[in-house]
Amino acid sequence: MTRSPRIDCLQYANWSEKIFRQMRSGGVDAVHVTIAYHENFRETVHNIERWNRWFEQFPELIFQGRTGDDVRLAQATGRTAIFFGFQNPSPIEDDIGLVEIVHTLGGRFMQLTYNNQSLLATGCYEAEDTGITRMGRQVIKEMNRVGLVVDMSHSAERSTLEAIDISERPIAITHANPASWHPALRNKSDDVLRALGQSGGMLGFSVYPHHLKGGSNCSLESFCEMIARTADLMGPDHIGIGTDLCQDQPDTIVEWMRVGRWTKEIDYGEGSSGNPGFPEMPSWFHDNRDFENIEARLRVAGFDAAGVAAIMGGNWLQFYDRSFGSQNAGKSSDQTEAAQ
Amino acid sequence: MTRSPRIDCLQYANWSEKIFRQMRSGGVDAVHVTIAYHENFRETVHNIERWNRWFEQFPELIFQGRTGDDVRLAQATGRTAIFFGFQNPSPIEDDIGLVEIVHTLGGRFMQLTYNNQSLLATGCYEAEDTGITRMGRQVIKEMNRVGLVVDMSHSAERSTLEAIDISERPIAITHANPASWHPALRNKSDDVLRALGQSGGMLGFSVYPHHLKGGSNCSLESFCEMIARTADLMGPDHIGIGTDLCQDQPDTIVEWMRVGRWTKEIDYGEGSSGNPGFPEMPSWFHDNRDFENIEARLRVAGFDAAGVAAIMGGNWLQFYDRSFGSQNAGKSSDQTEAAQ
């Protein structure tokens, strides 16, 4: 493969043929798409059914990704590999057996929390963070076994540090930025980012305005300089892109993301009563055709071509290669994997 | 591969390490196991979770089979490949999107009915047989597309003939015998068997006593002569074994199989008020170690070694090779399959 892949490790768009064509126009080889916020198992399966219809309708644009090699297949065939993820453990309900089931169905990332306390860990909006729960430890072990990546993007500090420590395989924070650059609750401390990098984990940089210094007015220059500083902090091999692009979504969706079914009151999450909807995107990133803006500016921020390629997808591909298979794959004691 | 495989295309045992070890002792390379009678989707997933635990606990004995090549892998590694099937369309509920989902989870056979009328077709115990329903036609098409085999073992005559006709890929009757040999409601007419063979389908011979001439007292000689006559009727490439072995099951299970949740009254199915439980197995077949009895007797019934090998598993393997992949696999227009 001559070209390094372009991978976005988090989007939650209002999917359409238009967006799939923009992925192709933008040369995006793989996207990790959120298919559940608060959905239970059966509802998540329904969302997979919707994706199956899109895969059937647009086979020349997209297909379901399951392994790192599917990113290479996407590059070779001029399509985009779609990897499923969950922003909450709601798809596995209270049933550890569902971890393997959702992995078989293509799930590759699962957040242990979405803002609130879950059965597994504490979310970043809770007042108290009690760390990984009893069930959380069991589920992390099972996620490690089958190859479902622990994602702590919306989790609280202690829970995140404990997940890094407990997990036997590197974890990810697919979409967040350093809090030292922009002190949002959703952004991460240098302690977390350092531990993430040292453990072989990955951070995906978000362009969701609430995660950006200056919000919607954040400059591309500031964003890319932040990436350069984070490379110094974490190491250049542990960073990538996870835009958190919520393209074409109506504001009812951001309300669903924040409120789910857990409250009868309105919760504004990262927004506010004066700004309850999706924030306006920065001028330099509106859709999948805008990755080249980031790529070009990273050179100005001091990265060489290889460094830019690593950030734009090369690092994620290495992580995908290591993370999505069974933990025992390749060990001679495990012959089952060969049957898959 | 020097040895032809030994395949049993229907069992519903009270699974245990003992039975898995008997599969190995009996040289059984692959078994199609029933994982749903009346279970809805979520309940079926729970049953898959139980199998996942067994695969994890006994990797030296069993693993999940998905393709014909997994039968060859089983032969090469001295294990038994387990293929999932449903005796009712209850796992897909009223949702055609679940056809692909259950196939992704490993489902390879699905009966369109279990004795009663279903959303898809008419069962063999109904007074009137109205054939394949509107939804049934759509589901057969979808089953053809993804590689989920239509199984009409418990279906009525007209529905079965229509399924053979409508399905674009050969179907199976995994566990039944000719009604001309033993006129049970569950056994099949010569018309059905002839149409099945001519369409490239497969019949699996059952050793469940209610399907046998003379019941539990049926002789192995009579059983093997029946196979020889059926080979003449259908062609020697369209027959195999589907024992319907229900080993170690308590009688509460046969009640569940017959009654499910569809009636508050008792229904004896193939049994009777005087004989409500599982019937006693014939002396020559009690468990997975007894296939050699059938194999040896088939030679006496006139089959040569190649003919016996075809019946004991070779024919099923050819059918598995043709049936479990996507309908479009290998067509240049479909590149998605290559990604799987």
Q: What is the mean pLDDT of residues A199-208?
A: 98
Contact B98 A45 (CB under 8 A): yes
Cβ A116 vs Cβ A123: under 8 Å: yes
Interface test with A, best of B141, B335, B337, B340 (most A CBs within 10 A): B335
Q: What is the pLDDT of residue B332?
A: 41
Give strand ranges (E) for B74-113: 80-86, 107-111
Helix (H), strand (E) at residue B173? strand B172-173
* CA–CA separation, A197 and B195 (whole Å): 64
Helix (H), strand (E) at residue A80? strand A80-86
Contact B45 A41 (CB under 8 A): yes
* H-type alpha helices, A151-270: 157-166, 190-198, 220-234, 251-259
Chain center to CA of A44 = 17
Contact A49 B339 (CB under 8 A): no
Contact A79 B53 (CB under 8 A): no
Q: What is the pLDDT of residue A269?
A: 86
Residues in chain B closer than 8 A to A336 (CB atoms): 55, 59, 63-64
**Assigned fold of A7-328:** TIM Barrel (3.20.20)
What digits encode the pLDDT tens for the residues B326-340?
Answer: 997 644 433 334 333
Percent of chain A past pLDDT 90, that is, above it, reads 90
Whether the pTM exceeds 0.95: the reply is no
- Check whether A161 has a pLDDT greater than 90: yes
Contact B81 A41 (CB under 8 A): no
For residue B3, name the pLDDT band (cuts at 50, 70, 90): confident
Buried (b) or exposed (e) across B257-288, using 16+ Cβ within 10 A? bbbbeeeeeeeebbbeeeeeebbebbebbebb
- Check whether B123 has a pLDDT greater than 80: yes
Interface residues on B facing A, Cβ-Cβ cutoff 8 A: 41-42, 45-46, 48-50, 52-53, 55, 59, 63-66, 70, 73, 77, 79, 81, 95, 97-98, 100-101, 104-106, 334-336, 338-340
Please state the ipTM of this predicted complex. Answer: 0.90
Contact A49 B100 (CB under 8 A): yes
Identify the closest residue of chain B to A145 by CA–CA distance.
Answer: B56
CA B254 to chain A, closest CA, distance in angstroms equals 27
Q: What is the mean pLDDT of residues A11-30?
A: 98
What digits encode the pLDDT tens for the residues A56-72?
Answer: 999 999 999 999 999 99
What digits encode the pLDDT tens for the residues A221-275?
Answer: 999 999 999 999 999 999 999 999 999 999 999 999 999 999 999 888 888 998 8
Residue B63: CB atoms within 10 A of its CB come to 25
- Check whether B53 has a pLDDT greater than 50: yes
Which residue in A152, A153, A47 sits closest to A105, CA to CA? A47
Q: Dihedral, CA atoms, B327, B329, B334, B340, nearest 10 degrees?
A: 110
Cβ A55 vs Cβ A15: under 8 Å: no
- Check whether B94 has a pLDDT greater than 70: yes
Tokens of A303: 């990265």
- Check whether A139 has a pLDDT greater than 90: yes
Helix (H), strand (E) at residue A172? strand A172-173
**Which CATH number applies to B7-324?**
3.20.20.140
What digits encode the pLDDT tens for the residues B129-170?
Answer: 999 999 999 999 999 999 999 999 999 999 999 999 999 999
- Check whether A339 has a pLDDT greater than 70: no
Q: Dihedral, CA atoms, A247, A252, A257, A262, nearest 10 degrees?
A: -170
State the burial class of residue B335 (Cβ atoms within 10 Å of its Cβ: 0-12, 13-18, 19+): middle
Cβ B10 vs Cβ B206: under 8 Å: yes
SS3 state at A275: strand
Q: Dihedral, CA atoms, B121, B127, B128, B133, nearest 10 degrees?
A: -10
Residues in chain B closer than 8 A to A95 (CB atoms): 46, 49
Backbone angles phi, psi at A26, to 5 degrees: -85, 0
Percent of chain A past pLDDT 70, that is, above it, reads 96
Q: What is the pLDDT of residue B2?
A: 58
- Check whether A158 has a pLDDT greater than 60: yes
Contact B52 A339 (CB under 8 A): no
- Check whether A335 has a pLDDT greater than 90: no
Contact A97 B46 (CB under 8 A): yes
Tokens of A16: 């359409």
* CA–CA separation, A207 and A32 (whole Å): 15
